[in-house]
């Protein structure tokens, strides 16, 4: 029943044909169970082991490797001679890689928590109902509760279904519904109808929601929704409807795999077709079939060379290293690909409470009355430092530090705060922090009393545990709390009846201490405390006090204010009707106003600087909260999300205002808004959907069950460490400290990881391009093999793998958070970057072929044949006069392949050193900035010498030791790659990256009239049609949402104005 909150309790009972006293009949229960089903959330069917295994082979690169392994295995089966053993090495190594990847993938899937299954922990096992078949309340399984059942709940119970309250059997009923609505304090409930068809769950004060907890009181309700129809069930349905999407990195790797597979296919077929004329050469015994198989093996070798077998492992390792670094910064990543996704985050949608703020309510201001006579009213105002529950802080009047014990009004104010209070501070020794026990508002008052220390208690030598309540204990020794008049909605206050203890001989008798909403409490005050005197409260003084409270409540801080008062001569407790809460208001009349405190959930001190960093990085921060709009906007101003005087029209919306917009208006609102207040879970999901329609990469924070659908839908779901298991399992990242600064640190780390990934991908791909060029050249020119498949596997997996992994430790660029988020649509390899890969790769290929050729043509230990003889080596025979005096077996020597392999490995080590920075010279970013890389280079060279010198490795890898002169040639051919890459870096720094800005400067120095003057980015600039391109649109959007102002940001970036102007 969706409209249950609109109806009176009697109307709801009539709808279900039930009475509160009798409950449902057994026939009604049976009918309802058949109609609505059991009161439980259906379990989620998991994937079978076989399905998980198959999923690991859906990646295109993995399939290409699998095909290469199968073909290699078939070819190895028919191999003859001494190569039979080595031929099986290649397919076995590839299969081991694939099996290891599959095992890791299945293990991660099996250990992943299910967000939907975690919801079931909020389902209670038992419930208490009233039914006609038995007198009184009976306990039944919660799954057997049906709509229409009369359900009883009491303190400590978990609500078993969505209930419409029909009777509250205690003074008050308070419910902790934070898991569903995100409210940080328990909520007072009532039974009155709420005539608002658009009320959000926070405003449905007459409803209890399944899975929430009763904090205090006892009540009866009628079940109006069960199972999937409850608010908890709706969240489950929303989560089940969310289809998991591949991350930007996964999509880029998929695209890279497709491009690579096409390139491999074309090159392999080309090599095989070009050599058709050599199929019947004498080297193949004149057999056309043997020649075809020989060149097919070369084509397979080419495929092995082109595939970066080590890339998946290196990427996984780099991401895993990133997760460790993030964990040290309190960001625990549950999904490895999400590490990279963080780097292109363009919008961060953050909860307010606990993330942007401390979630530790603190009193920051208070006042007592200094003068209230002769029509004048003057206040003593004080500020209190401290933004956490730590009981340490300073009290100041203006700039002057004060001792609170010198002010009689502050002594009484502290007394009321300590006694009109059921909370306490507790020191958590495991965490090393002070925590609240009880309501946040009352804990703030407890903490205030400790900071005030009105009786100058000696706090030296106290342990942290003793310090938590030292000053409050002194006050509680002077007055004994007899009973409490609980808070009620009608009088908006609560009070305690206290009598003096024997420890206070100066006590003047019983007193009532009152705290509550200022308007309600001050209305019942007839006098005011001025120092130690009591004077009548005039209309002028009353209005002056209320004006100050209104100013605190509506100013830049939007403080939550509580008025504190006392009744000096209360009735005798024997004369008070404590079982009738309607009488409480008459006992709280004739009060004396003592003072007022203003509190807030303070912003975290470090968040404002983090938001500035986000703005400079082109990341828009959007605050999403359940608080009212005024409080939300005030916090946004304090944090720098909004400027102090910025007009928030069109930039801040309540959930209801957002609902009033058309779908297209909602979409546009999400593009510009930076604050959403009074929102529900469904709003969060819609906000994410709209942001994704603009190709934004969205990070969404949350901690409650209600946040799970949005966390699952966003590219990066970020759960709080103190949040629910559902939120954590739906998210990609968990913040152990619930701190927004940790999100920004994670984004920075994500950007650094992506930069490092580009470096090691460039490093690995240039090596693979070099190997392809080497094999392609030898095949086209008809030269002997320079590299064989087993050598290629060794280089791709081991020799290159160590430096590639070490590149993941590269330090981040100093200006990494000064750049705009990268376009998630940009290809992994494109344009200039592709040219750089190609240039380095071609040099690698030419150098390896040249090294092998040098041995044949010029080495003193080689045959010193001519290049023409070398190109026709397959025609070598005793009968061929071209090869007179030449032993044909020399063309099968291990020296040329060793030379080629050594040049390949040495060049790759130089390449690794070049990769410390993408564009910075080695002179500015030397290799020793990454000591891991230096160690990896040394280890890789040591492994290369290992296969050259230690038997039986030379036999397996078809290599042999080289002489000193030969190593000299290797170095001569390898070291120039450093100069080549330095030249490419110079071009990148001074020409390629500056083309965009140079082009724009040329057009933007003088404002030009025309249709482009209103495009809202650089007014008056004409781009001759370039503004229609995707790249322009992406840059325009990033600067527009940066929060610093699009025109100034862009002009600063282009050097058209100074940052100071």
What is the tally of helices (H) and strands (E) in the chain? 40, 30
Task: Give pLDDT, residue 1030.
Answer: 46
- In terms of domains, do 393 and 514 share one? yes
Is 90 exceeded by the pLDDT of residue 418?
yes
Task: Report CA 69 to chain centroid distance, whole Å.
Answer: 39
- In terms of domains, do 493 and 381 share one? yes
Could you tell me the residue range of the domain that residue 89 belongs to? Answer: 49-115
Average pLDDT over residues 785-802: 83
Neighbours of 811 (CB within 10 A): 13
Which of 210, 241, 272 represents a domain boundary (last residue)?
Answer: 241
Please tell me which residue in 157, 281, 351, 707 is annotated as part of the active site: 351
Distance CA 652, CA 636 (A): 10
Q: Phi, psi (5° rounding) for residue 816?
A: -65, -30
* Contact present, 1042 and 618 (Cβ < 8 Å): yes
Distance CA 36, CA 447 (A): 50
Q: Is residue 916 part of a domain?
A: yes
Which of 939, 966, 997 represents a domain boundary (last residue)?
Answer: 997
> Residue 952, preceding bond cis, omega within 30 degrees?
yes
Task: Give pLDDT, residue 769.
Answer: 85
Is 90 exceeded by the pLDDT of residue 963?
yes
- In terms of domains, do 159 and 56 share one? no
- In terms of domains, do 929 and 799 share one? yes
- In terms of domains, do 484 and 591 share one? yes
Instruction: Specify the pairing of strand 620-624 against strand 347-351.
Output: parallel
Which residue's entry shows tokens 């906007």?
Answer: 633
- In terms of domains, do 22 and 59 share one? no
Q: Phi, psi (5° rounding) for residue 598?
A: -120, 130
Task: Give pLDDT, residue 238.
Answer: 76
CATH of the domain at 446: 3.40.1110.10
- In terms of domains, do 194 and 207 share one? yes
Closest CA to 328 of 745, 620, 941: 745
* Contact present, 409 and 529 (Cβ < 8 Å): yes
Higher-confidence position of 148 and 1022: 148
* Contact present, 561 and 553 (Cβ < 8 Å): yes
Q: Is residue 1029 part of a domain?
A: no
Neighbours of 404 (CB within 10 A): 22
- In terms of domains, do 967 and 858 share one? yes
> What SS3 state is found at 352?
helix
What are the pLDDT digits (tens) for 805-860?
888 888 777 778 888 887 777 766 667 777 887 899 899 999 999 999 999 999 98
- In terms of domains, do 21 and 100 share one? no
Cβ neighbors of 996 (< 8 A, separation 6 or more) are none
- In terms of domains, do 725 and 840 share one? no
Beta strands in 641-766 (DSSP E): 652-654, 675-677, 698-702, 716-720, 733-735
- In terms of domains, do 924 and 990 share one? yes
Mean pLDDT of the chain: 83
Q: Which two tokens stand for residue 24?
A: 């449902």
Is 50 exceeded by the pLDDT of residue 591?
yes
Distance CA 572, CA 497 (A): 10
Closest CA to 93 of 318, 320, 314, 310: 310
Closest CA to 311 of 809, 757, 755: 757
Q: What are the contacts of 463-472 at 24+ separation with CB within 8 A?
A: 464/427, 464/429, 464/434, 465/427, 465/429, 467/391, 467/427, 468/391, 468/424, 468/425, 468/426, 468/427, 468/434, 469/424, 469/425, 471/391, 471/414, 471/418, 472/418, 472/424, 472/446
Neighbours of 416 (CB within 10 A): 26
* Contact present, 624 and 690 (Cβ < 8 Å): no
Q: Is residue 545 part of a domain?
A: yes
pLDDT band at 107; cut points 50, 70, 90: low
What are the pLDDT digits (tens) for 724-763?
777 787 888 888 888 888 888 888 888 888 888 878 887 8
User: What is the percentage of the chain residues whose pLDDT exceeds 70?
Assistant: 87
What are the pLDDT digits (tens) for 128-142?
999 998 888 999 999
Distance CA 861, CA 868 (A): 19
Burial label for 132, CB within 10 Å (0-12, 13-18, 19+), is middle
pLDDT band at 96; cut points 50, 70, 90: confident
Neighbours of 1017 (CB within 10 A): 19
Q: Phi, psi (5° rounding) for residue 8?
A: -75, 165
Distance CA 706, CA 711 (A): 10
Average pLDDT over residues 949-971: 92
What are the pLDDT digits (tens) for 522-564?
999 999 999 999 999 999 999 999 999 999 987 667 899 999 9
Is 90 exceeded by the pLDDT of residue 882?
no
Q: Is residue 305 part of a domain?
A: no
Upper half-sphere CA count for residue 585 (Cβ side, 13 Å): 11
CA dihedral 205, 209, 211, 215 (to 10 degrees): 20
Average pLDDT over residues 1013-1028: 38
Distance CA 752, CA 340 (A): 9
H-helix or E-strand containing 937?
helix 931-949
* Contact present, 677 and 653 (Cβ < 8 Å): yes
Closest CA to 606 of 640, 644, 562: 640
> Cα angle at 487 between 482 and 492, to 5 degrees?
130
Cα dist. 426→39, 581, 754, 779 in Å? 39, 32, 43, 77
CATH of the domain at 709: 3.40.50.1000
Task: Report CA 596 to chain centroid distance, whole Å.
Answer: 40
H-helix or E-strand containing 130?
strand 126-130
Q: Is residue 284 part of a domain?
A: no
> What SS3 state is found at 562?
strand
* Contact present, 213 and 164 (Cβ < 8 Å): no
Is the Cα dihedral 600, 606, 608, 611 positive or negative? negative
Distance CA 218, CA 241 (A): 37
Strand order from edge to edge, sheet including 162-168:
137-141, 126-130, 150-154, 218-225, 162-168, 207-208
End-to-end CA distance of the chain: 60
What are the pLDDT digits (tens) for 206-255?
999 998 889 888 999 999 999 889 988 888 787 777 666 666 777 777 77
pLDDT band at 114; cut points 50, 70, 90: low
Q: What's this model's pTM, rounded to 2 decimal places?
A: 0.73
Distance CA 72, CA 1008 (A): 65
* Contact present, 787 and 775 (Cβ < 8 Å): yes
pLDDT band at 46; cut points 50, 70, 90: low
CATH of the domain at 969: 1.20.1110.10
Instruction: Specify the pairing of strand 150-154 against strand 218-225.
Output: antiparallel
Which of 241, 268, 300 represents a domain boundary (last residue)?
Answer: 241
What are the pLDDT digits (tens) for 624-672?
988 888 888 989 998 999 988 889 999 999 999 999 999 999 999 999 9
**Active-site residue, 490 included:** no
Q: Which two tokens stand for residue 649?
A: 């029209």
Distance CA 350, CA 699 (A): 8
- In terms of domains, do 207 and 348 share one? no
Q: Is residue 1013 part of a domain?
A: no
What are the pLDDT digits (tens) for 423-470?
999 999 988 899 988 888 999 999 999 999 999 999 998 999 999 999
CATH of the domain at 126: 2.70.150.10
Cβ neighbors of 559 (< 8 A, separation 6 or more) are 364, 365, 552, 553, 598, 599, 600
Distance CA 404, CA 595 (A): 14
Provide the number of structural domains found in the chain. Answer: 5
b or e along 221-249 (b: 16 or more beta carbons within 10 Å of the residue's beta carbon)? bbbbbbbbbbbbbbbbebbeebeeeebbb
Is 60 exceeded by the pLDDT of residue 284?
yes
Q: Is residue 898 part of a domain?
A: yes
User: What is the percentage of the chain residues whose pLDDT exceeds 90?
Assistant: 38
* Contact present, 799 and 943 (Cβ < 8 Å): yes
Q: Is residue 203 part of a domain?
A: yes
Q: Which two tokens stand for residue 963?
A: 């002489």
Instruction: Specify the pairing of strand 652-654 against strand 698-702.
Output: unpaired
Which residue(s) pair with 796 in the sheet?
Answer: none
Is 60 exceeded by the pLDDT of residue 507?
no
């Amino acid at each position: 029943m969706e409209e249950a909150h609109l109806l009176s309790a009697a109307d709801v009972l009539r709808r279900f044909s039930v009475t509160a006293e009798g409950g449902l009949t057994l026939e009604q229960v049976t009918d309802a169970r058949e109609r609505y089903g059991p009161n439980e959330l259906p379990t989620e069917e998991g994937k079978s082991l076989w399905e998980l295994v198959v999923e690991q082979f859906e990646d295109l690169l993995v399939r290409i490797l699998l095909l290469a392994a199968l073909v290699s295995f078939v070819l190895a089966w028919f191999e003859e001679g001494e190569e039979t053993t080595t031929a099986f090495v290649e397919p076995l190594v590839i299969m081991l890689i694939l099996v290891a990847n599959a095992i890791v993938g299945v293990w991660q899937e099996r250990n992943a928590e299910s967000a939907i299954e975690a919801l079931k922990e909020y389902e209670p096992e038992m419930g208490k109902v009233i039914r006609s078949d038995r007198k009184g309340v009976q306990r039944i399984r919660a799954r057997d509760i049906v709509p229409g059942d009369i359900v009883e709940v009491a303190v400590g119970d978990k609500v078993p279904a969505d209930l419409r309250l029909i009777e509250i059997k205690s003074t008050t009923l308070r419910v902790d519904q934070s898991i569903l609505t995100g409210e940080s304090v328990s909520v007072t409930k009532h039974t009155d109808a709420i005539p608002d068809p658009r009320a959000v769950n926070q405003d449905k004060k007459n409803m209890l929601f399944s899975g929430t907890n009763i904090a205090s009181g006892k009540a009866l309700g009628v079940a109006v929704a069960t199972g999937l129809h409850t608010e908890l069930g709706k969240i489950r349905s929303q989560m089940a409807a969310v289809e998991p999407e591949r991350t930007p990195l996964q999509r880029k790797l998929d695209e890279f795999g497709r491009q690579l597979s096409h390139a491999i296919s074309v090159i392999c077929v080309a090599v095989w077709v070009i050599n058709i004329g050599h199929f019947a050469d004498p080297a193949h015994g004149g057999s056309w079939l043997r020649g075809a198989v020989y060149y097919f093996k070369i084509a397979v070798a080419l495929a092995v060379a082109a595939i970066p077998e080590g890339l998946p492992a290196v990427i996984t390792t780099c991401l895993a290293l990133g997760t460790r670094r993030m964990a040290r910064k309190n960001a625990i990543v549950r999904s490895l690909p999400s590490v990279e996704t963080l780097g292109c985050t363009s919008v961060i949608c953050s909860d307010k409470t606990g993330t942007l703020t401390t979630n530790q309510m603190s009193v920051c201001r208070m006042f007592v009355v200094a003068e209230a006579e002769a029509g004048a009213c003057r206040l003593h105002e004080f500020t209190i430092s401290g933004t956490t529950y730590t009981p340490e802080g300073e009290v100041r009047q203006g700039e002057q530090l004060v001792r609170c014990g010198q002010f009689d009004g502050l002594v009484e104010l502290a007394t009321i705060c300590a006694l009109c209070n059921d909370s306490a501070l507790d020191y958590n020794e495991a965490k090393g922090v002070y925590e609240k026990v009880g309501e946040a508002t009352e804990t703030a008052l407890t903490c205030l009393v400790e900071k005030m220390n009105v009786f100058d208690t000696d706090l030296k030598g106290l342990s942290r545990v003793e310090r938590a309540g030292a000053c409050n204990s002194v006050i509680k020794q002077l007055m004994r709390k007899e009973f409490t008049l609980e808070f009620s909605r009608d009088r908006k206050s609560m009070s305690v009846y206290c009598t003096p203890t024997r420890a206070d001989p100066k006590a003047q008798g019983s007193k009532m201490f009152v705290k509550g909403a200022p308007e309600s409490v001050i209305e019942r005050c007839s006098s005011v405390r001025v120092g130690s005197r009591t004077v009548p409260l005039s209309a002028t003084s009353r209005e002056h006090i209320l004006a100050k409270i209104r100013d605190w409540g509506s100013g830049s801080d939007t403080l939550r204010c509580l008025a504190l008062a006392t009744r000096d001569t209360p009735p005798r407790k024997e004369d008070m009707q404590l079982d009738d809460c309607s009488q409480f208001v008459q006992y709280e009349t004739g009060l004396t106003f003592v003072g007022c405190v203003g509190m807030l959930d303070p912003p975290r001190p470090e968040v404002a600087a983090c938001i500035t960093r986000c703005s400079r990085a082109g990341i828009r921060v959007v605050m999403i909260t359940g608080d009212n709009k005024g409080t939300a906007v005030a916090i946004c101003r304090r944090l720098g999300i909004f400027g102090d005087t910025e007009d928030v029209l069109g930039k801040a919306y309540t959930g209801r205002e957002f609902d009033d917009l058309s779908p297209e208006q909602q979409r546009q609102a999400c593009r510009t808004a930076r604050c959403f207040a009074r929102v529900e879970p469904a709003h969060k999901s819609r906000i994410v959907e709209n942001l994704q329609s603009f190709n934004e990469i969205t990070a969404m924070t949350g901690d409650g069950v209600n946040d799970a659908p949005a966390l699952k839908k966003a590219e990066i779901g970020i759960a709080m460490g103190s949040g629910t298991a559902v939120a954590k399992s739906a998210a990609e990242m968990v913040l152990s400290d619930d701190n927004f600064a940790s999100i920004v640190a994670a984004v920075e780390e994500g950007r650094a990881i992506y930069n490092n990934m580009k470096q090691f991908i460039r490093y690995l791909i240039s090596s693979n391009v070099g190997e392809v060029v080497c094999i392609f050249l030898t095949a086209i020119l008809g030269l002997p093999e320079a590299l064989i498949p087993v050598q290629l596997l060794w280089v791709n997996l081991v020799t290159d793998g160590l430096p590639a992994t070490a590149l993941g430790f590269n330090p981040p660029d100093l200006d990494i958070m000064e750049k705009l988020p990268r376009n998630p649509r940009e290809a992994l390899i494109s344009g200039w970057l592709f040219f750089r890969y190609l240039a380095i790769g071609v040099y690698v290929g030419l150098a390896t072929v040249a090294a092998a050729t040098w041995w044949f043509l010029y080495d003193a230990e080689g045959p010193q044949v001519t290049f023409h003889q070398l190109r026709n080596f397959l025609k070598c025979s005793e009968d061929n006069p071209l090869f007179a005096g030449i032993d044909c077996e020399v063309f099968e020597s291990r020296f040329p392949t060793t030379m080629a392999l050594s040049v390949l490995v040495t060049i790759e080590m130089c390449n690794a050193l070049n990769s410390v920075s993408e564009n910075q010279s080695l002179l500015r970013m030397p290799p020793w900035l990454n000591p891991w890389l230096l160690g990896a280079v040394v280890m890789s060279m040591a492994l290369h010498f290992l296969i050259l010198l230690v038997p039986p490795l030379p036999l397996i890898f078809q290599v042999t030791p080289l002489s000193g002169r030969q190593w000299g040639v290797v170095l001569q051919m390898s070291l120039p790659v450093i100069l080549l890459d330095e030249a490419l870096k110079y071009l990148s720094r001074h020409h390629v990256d500056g083309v965009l800005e140079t082009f724009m400067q040329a057009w933007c120095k003088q404002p030009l009239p025309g249709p482009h003057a209103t495009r809202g980015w650089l007014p008056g600039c004409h781009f001759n049609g370039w503004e229609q391109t995707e790249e322009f649109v992406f840059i325009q959007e990033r600067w527009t949402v940066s929060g610093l102002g699009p025109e100034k940001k862009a002009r600063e970036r282009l050097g058209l104005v100074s940052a100071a102007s």
